[in-house]
Amino acid sequence: MAQRRLPNFIFEYVDSGAEDERTLAANRSAFDHWRFVPDALVDCQQRDLRQPILGGISACPLIVAPTGYNGMQRDKADIKLAQAAEEIGIPFTLSTVANSTFEDVARATPKGRTWLQLYVMQDRAITENLLARAKDAGCDTIVVTVDAVHYGNREWDRRCYRDGMSLNLRNKLDALMHPRWFWDVMVPGGVPTFANIAQYMPQGQARADNGAIFVARQMDARLNWETLAWLRDRWPGNLVVKGILSAADAQRAVDLGAQGIVVTNHGGRQLDGTIPALDALVDIAPVCRDKLALIVDSGFRRGTDIVKALCLGADS
């Protein structure tokens, strides 16, 4: 359905994984080899999906993960997703490279809980300003992504472009063949901008196409545990480290004083060949128990997938 509705270049951006997409496939097949052994005859008249997470109560053990460029799929998609999360009663994570500002999302969801995903930029003033803005807008949790300092090698995605972020002719024509999308996304305001970080970008370069080059250049490839300690000192709320796959790194996050980790391989979009996040839980869960919130993503598509992760020790 999404493939029919969206131009090819947007579909590929969402759908494609890195290189041979082995990790992308493994994220799904990991769910095949974990099976339930249910206890029979347990009274389950009362069912309650609520789950405490990082100082709040979530209606169920589910969080909307951060995804950049949502506004390319639907007009004001970040706000729509945040409103859907607010209605259900679960947290929503706004990407650094969102097409709406943190402030606008927070204003549109007064009863919601919006977390800020942070890409750490080389210009530390940008990061400090993002933290201050999030705090002022009532944010209690930041999610620092540590597995994407360089853009993953997504070949299907890349093939849509002539050079840089300029679409090739086939994909330009294909976009015009999707009038419903064009009407929804392009007619209201043209190519969406990186609204959340537009104020830090050179004048006129915040559009999602040429702005992507600015973001790639600004990404701090020196990001390390010292940077996280620096962040820890500047952020009074919950700090969640997103991009952990080993027990040793989970232990470092505990030692740092993080409140949570996201065990993830970025949905198979970054380093192809990494292990599925679900399998990583076996070693990581014992390190986290009673110390920090254990969040997991990559390959989750159904409620039963979530139940498997909970059985393996995840909180959400």
Ligand X SMILES: Cc1cc2nc3c(=O)[nH]c(=O)nc-3n(C[C@H](O)[C@H](O)[C@H](O)COP(=O)(O)O)c2cc1C
Please identify, using beta-carbon distances, which residue of 51 and 270 lies nearer to ligand X: 270
Is residue 95 at the binding interface for ligand X, with CB under 6 A as the rule? yes
Q: Interface with ligand X by CB under 6 A: which range of 3-11, 224-232, 259-267, 305-313? A: 259-267
Please identify, using beta-carbon distances, which residue of 27 and 316 lies nearer to ligand X: 27
* Spatial contact of 262 and 147, defined as CB atoms under 8 Å apart: no
Site string for ligand X, 126-155 (x = CB under 6 A): -------------------x----------
Q: Where are the alpha helices (DSSP H) in 92-123?
A: 102-108
- Of the residues 264, 288, 293, 296, which one makes contact with ligand X according to CB under 6 A: 264
Report how far residue 192's alpha carbon sits from residue 189's, in angstroms, rounded to the nearest whole number: 7
Please identify, using beta-carbon distances, which residue of 71 and 112 lies nearer to ligand X: 71
Is residue 238 at the binding interface for ligand X, with CB under 6 A as the rule? no
**Nearest distance from residue 134's CB to ligand X, in Å?**
15
Please identify, using beta-carbon distances, which residue of 10 and 175 lies nearer to ligand X: 10
- Rounded to an integer, what is the distance from CA 223 to the centroid of its chain? 18
Q: Interface with ligand X by CB under 6 A: which range of 108-116, 128-136, 200-208, 292-300? A: 292-300
Q: Where are the alpha helices (DSSP H) in the chain?
A: 2-5, 8-15, 22-29, 77-88, 102-108, 124-136, 155-158, 169-176, 179-181, 187-189, 208-218, 225-234, 247-256, 277-288, 303-311
**Residue 295, C-beta contacts closer than 8 angstroms, at least 6 positions apart:** 53, 63, 240, 242, 260, 261, 262, 263, 314, 315, 316
> Which residues 182-221 are close enough to bind ligand X by CB under 6 A?
none
Task: Find, among 99, 97, 70, the residue nearest to 192 by Cα.
Answer: 99
Residue with tokens 């006129």: 204
Please identify, using beta-carbon distances, which residue of 122 and 173 lies nearer to ligand X: 122
Is residue 68 at the binding interface for ligand X, with CB under 6 A as the rule? yes
**Nearest distance from residue 133's CB to ligand X, in Å?**
17
Is residue 67 at the binding interface for ligand X, with CB under 6 A as the rule? yes
Is 266 tagged catalytic?
yes
What backbone phi and psi angles, to 5 degrees, belong to 53?
Answer: -145, 120
Please identify, using beta-carbon distances, which residue of 39 and 90 lies nearer to ligand X: 90
**Nearest distance from residue 34's CB to ligand X, in Å?**
16
Is residue 300 at the binding interface for ligand X, with CB under 6 A as the rule? yes
Cβ of 22: how many Cβ atoms within 10 Å?
Answer: 14
Task: Find, among 120, 112, 110, the residue nearest to 142 by Cα.
Answer: 120
Is residue 297 at the binding interface for ligand X, with CB under 6 A as the rule? yes
Which residues have a catalytic role annotated? 266
**Which residues of this chain interact with ligand X, rule CB under 6 A?**
13-14, 27, 65-68, 95, 97, 117, 145, 242, 264, 266-267, 269, 297-300
